[in-house]
Structure 1
Amino acid sequence: MQSTATSVGAPRVTFWERHQRAIAPWLFLAPALVLFAVYVIVPIARSIGFGFYAWDGLSTPRFVGLGNYLELLGDPDFWTAFRNNIVWLVGFLLAVPAGLFFALFLNQNVFGMRAVKSMFFFPFVISQAVIGLVFGWFYDPSNGLLFHVLHWFGIPPLAVLSDERYVTYGIVAAGLYPQISYCMILYLTGLSNVRPDLIEAARLEGAHGWSMLRRVVLPQLRSATFVAIVVTVVGALRSFDMVSIMTQGGPYGSSRVLAYYMVEQALGDYGYRVGYGSAIATILFLLMLVYIGFVIVRVYTQEKELA
């Protein structure tokens, strides 16, 4: 009789009280997830969907299935842009080791180092448009700084932005200027969190120079390296502004990249081929997805091995 009374008088545990710990985080995340879905997931899905239609952005879309993608296979301008994106990707990855080098150089307690750091930070805060214009003047074959340097060494003038062989490399060099600064900032932040006790222990064990960097410092910079690689890869694949400012895709379309060619097809001189431009955007998105997914899997595997 007593047990029955106790069970009847016991307070009821509500659903919220039973699952509060599991539900509460999702309630805090809900506004951000909704905004992410509306402004990222839905536009990506719609862009992929438009790739299966022939559409000028105004009239009724006409379903063509894989027609846009089959046309891409035979489009020489697309393959030129694709090849240039590979050059951008390989060249831009030089920003990661270069940023690490400058970060190690600047990570010293020396008089005047703050002024030197501000000079290296400067490219990061400059607009891409300004950098493109400055490098356009730098490459000027008639009176640019490159012209005077080559003339001093007795080398004939080189029209970098007018030569199909060099134009993409010249633009990549201009893009590397701020990207190295960005990677340097990431590594400087990571170096400020390196454990000094591990450094001292390694010195007592006789580690120095390259062995200290490879075995002690770099493992503690793994998160900074991951962010630097992902941001650099995304920046290389979505490169647009430098090409638009410095060459507008020329000469003769030799400096086009996928992002620039996409805009040309959807909104540019080729007419309003929104469906074809969306197909190019889908290819670019898949390239980013595959590469970044590969990097994430590698990092996860390494973290799992160290755990």
Structure 2
Amino acid sequence: MPVASFWERHQRAIAPWLFLSPALILFTLYVLIPIVRSIGFSLDEWDGLSAPHFIGLGNYLELYGDPNFWVSLKNNFIWLAGFLLSVPAGLFLALFLNQSVFGMRAVKSLFFFPFVISQAVIGLVFGWFYDPANGLLFHVLHAFGVPSIAILADDRYVTYGIVAAGLYPQIAYCMILYLTGLAGVRADLIEAARLEGASGWAMLRRIVLPQLRSATFVAVVVTVVGALRSFDMVSIMTQGGPYGSSRVLAYYMYEQALGDYGYRVGYGSAIATVLFLVMLVYIGFVLIRVYRQEKEHA
């Protein structure tokens, strides 16, 4: 009787890894290795050109006493709290648009439109919208007799104004995710629940939302990542102003490594490492919650 070859005996175990290997190789080259190298650079005093000088935790100790860093970190948490509103808002819009009504496709296209617009265009449009001299917000406030507010020039409101601009396309993205999820909701469960007398909030909470768990997971993760790596809106609308009050970690990292503060690549890498750890904690928390929910419903 011929002895089975190694491939024949382990084919089921090896075959999935063969299919995954191209993606894993690219992920290692372009994600894992840069992360590790960035953490390594954060331990150096380096301008990106000369030989790096190892200083250990010196950059992190400097961060601890850097008020600009703490302002940027606080703004990132404001971004995170504000951006998470896009998940329930996207769900609400998806439920509203998931109807077989004449003209609904055109309405869906209008709500989808913000997602396909460049972030730069959205930033410019909202900059004009907030213009305290002739913007649309100025005219709306003027119609109600309210004095004009220079949102992008006031350190009390500027971060919230930029977050509102960022929510515009993010809500559209979450809406698309939920519309896709609603297409897979089982109609027989809906009918059975209706026969049992369920409707409204009870139907949504007990029947629909459990079937949208995957869409919710993707929406939350993408929203958290988008909030914590926010850069383009800040760069386009305020460039971190006024007086650095709208900085976020990603923009402050850019300023330190490549911007007005000089080429402090090591210090910028330390900021990037902190941002990565914050992102890791939040996404890890979401993954644990999802895992526990899956175990409860298994």
TM-score by length of 2: 0.99
What CA deviation, in whole Å up to 9, does each residue of 1:135-170 have, x standing for no partner?
000000000000000000001111000000000000
Runs (4+) of structure 1 moved beyond 3 Å?
A: none
**Match of 1:42, as an amino acid?**
I
Give the CA deviation at 1:20: 1.6
Counterpart position of 1:204: 195
Pair 1:70-2:61 in alignment:
yes
Q: CA separation in 2, counterparts of 1:284 and 1:293?
A: 14
What CA deviation, in whole Å up to 9, does each residue of 1:97-125 have, x standing for no partner?
00000001000001110110000000000
**Match of 1:108, as an amino acid?**
Q
Q: How does 1:1-307 map to 2 (within 5 A)?
A: 10-307=1-298
Q: CA separation in 1, counterparts of 2:128 and 2:173?
A: 23
What CA deviation, in whole Å up to 9, does each residue of 1:231-266 have, x standing for no partner?
000000000000000000000000000000000000
Q: Unpaired segments of 5 or more residues in structure 1? A: 1-9
Q: CA separation in 2, counterparts of 1:229 and 1:18?
A: 41
Q: Unpaired segments of 5 or more residues in structure 2? A: none
User: Secondary structure at the residue paired with 2:197?
Assistant: coil
Identity %: 82
Q: CA separation in 2, counterparts of 1:122 and 1:196?
A: 29
Q: CA separation in 1, counterparts of 2:65 and 2:106?
A: 53
Give the CA deviation at 1:28: 1.7
Give the CA deviation at 1:12: 2.6
Counterpart position of 1:3: none
Q: CA separation in 1, counterparts of 2:195 and 2:280?
A: 44
Q: CA separation in 1, counterparts of 2:185 and 2:5?
A: 47
What CA deviation, in whole Å up to 9, does each residue of 1:199-221 have, x standing for no partner?
11111111111111111111111
**Match of 1:203, as an amino acid?**
R
Q: CA separation in 2, counterparts of 1:140 and 1:273?
A: 35
Give the CA deviation at 1:33: 1.0
TM-score by length of 1: 0.96
Q: CA separation in 2, counterparts of 1:304 and 1:131?
A: 41
Q: CA separation in 2, counterparts of 1:182 and 1:13?
A: 51
Q: CA separation in 2, counterparts of 1:283 and 1:188?
A: 35
Q: CA separation in 1, counterparts of 2:291 and 2:186?
A: 22
User: Secondary structure at the residue paired with 2:112?
Assistant: helix
The higher radius of gyration belongs to: 1
- Pairwise CA RMSD: 0.6
Aligned residues: 298
**Match of 1:156, as an amino acid?**
P
